[in-house]
Amino acid sequence: MAAFTTRTGKRVRPHAKTHKSPLIAKMQLDRGAIGLCCAKLGEAEVMADAGIGPLLITTEIAGEPKVARLVALRKRAEVMAAVDDMDVARALSDAMRAAGIVLDVLVDVNVGQDRTGVAPDDAGELAACVATLAGLRLRGIQAYEGHLQHVYLEAERRLKWRQCADRMLAGREQIAKRGLPVDIVSTAGTGTCAFAAELPEVTEVQAGSYPFMDCDYAQVKGLPYESSLTVLASVVSRQRGDTAVIDAGWKAISTDAGMPVVKGRPELEYTTKGDEHGGVRGGRMTPGERIELIPSHCDTTVNLHDQYVCVRNGVVEAVWPIAARGRIQ
């Protein structure tokens, strides 16, 4: 990803929602990242406590308790937020102004994921509202196409991305034609950042999964990254015929994106066995035998664990806490 930045000139603001680790965030900053994205306010608080920044909170923040936390965070850290609602923008502005500070914001534009964000045609009106609010400073737009990151075929992914890019550019135009600043156009993930780099209007990408990847991302064609994250599991029983039972169930590895795969053992197949257990069939295994599982979704699996055991060439070099684990509010 550092080479991508050098080659394309696009800035990278990696998503901390993947690793939830200030230590890894620091490594990314050391390699040229301009800051970190955080999906939740809690993640941003952990990163700020560790001196990581600047930070972009990509999920809308609403309601008095969270707004109060954001004010407290902004007082001690360089933070930017996304907005998609005029009433929420006014509430944020009032809280920031009362505290004597200003919050940088991006207008969140829905480019097809249909999660958060205003329609492209409404981006200008929201931006104009933000521009009138003394507690906020308009910086540009966020336009994230998360639903495209795991489209496996490169040609199909590119075609669908182009449709999202057209929506992003339409939203940007609605703001720019009002004479308002669009200094930042923040978009794209690991699966689409190469496409986004082709657009001169894009200033930065929000790729998050690239340090780890997972077995689902491994099926996405055209990416230069490899899987590095595994869950270590042990066989605890062999009483179920051709299926060995291991100590990694739903509490150890997520299956929301499919089943994990056994690293280096393509003949073995993982099956679910509940909260505490999983099954592995396809070969004779003995109690105590260890295997490594490549998860199907790195982000949700990381959030199940307290620490990383960092291994190089079979040697444990470090143990890193997952400091933002569970910080989902």
Entry pTM: 0.96
The answer to whether residue 321 scores a pLDDT higher than 90 is yes
Percent of the chain topping pLDDT 70 = 100
Per-residue model confidence as pLDDT tens digits over 194-237: 999 999 999 999 999 999 999 999 999 999 999 999 999 999 99
Beta strands in 207-277 (DSSP E): 231-240, 243-246, 261-262, 269-272
Asked if the model's pLDDT at residue 193 lies above 90, the reply is yes
Of the options 1.10.274.30, 3.20.20.70, 2.40.37.20, 3.50.50.60, the CATH number for the domain spanning 232-321: 2.40.37.20
- The pair of three-digit structure tokens given for residue 288, joined into one six-digit string: 């105590």
- β-pairing, 269-272 vs 278-281, is antiparallel
Distance CA 23, CA 43 (A): 13
Average pLDDT, the chain: 97
Query: What is the chain's length?
Result: 329
What 8-state DSSP symbol labels residue 118? B
What pLDDT does residue 238 have?
Answer: 93
Segment 271-317, tens digit of pLDDT: 999 999 999 999 889 999 999 999 999 999 999 999 999 999 999 99
Average pLDDT over residues 252-280: 97
If you average pLDDT over residues 162-168, what whole number do you get? Answer: 98
Domain ranges in the chain are 2-219, 232-321
Give dist(CA 229, CA 48) in Å, integer. 25
- Predicted pLDDT of residue 241: 86
Contacts of 229 (CB under 8 A, 6+ apart): 212, 213, 214, 294, 295, 298, 301, 302
Rounded average pLDDT over 53-63: 98
For residue range 87-142, what is the model confidence (pLDDT) as tens digits?
999 999 999 999 999 999 999 999 999 999 999 999 999 999 999 999 999 999 99
Determine the CATH number of domain 2-219: 3.20.20.10
The position carrying tokens 């105590």 is: 288
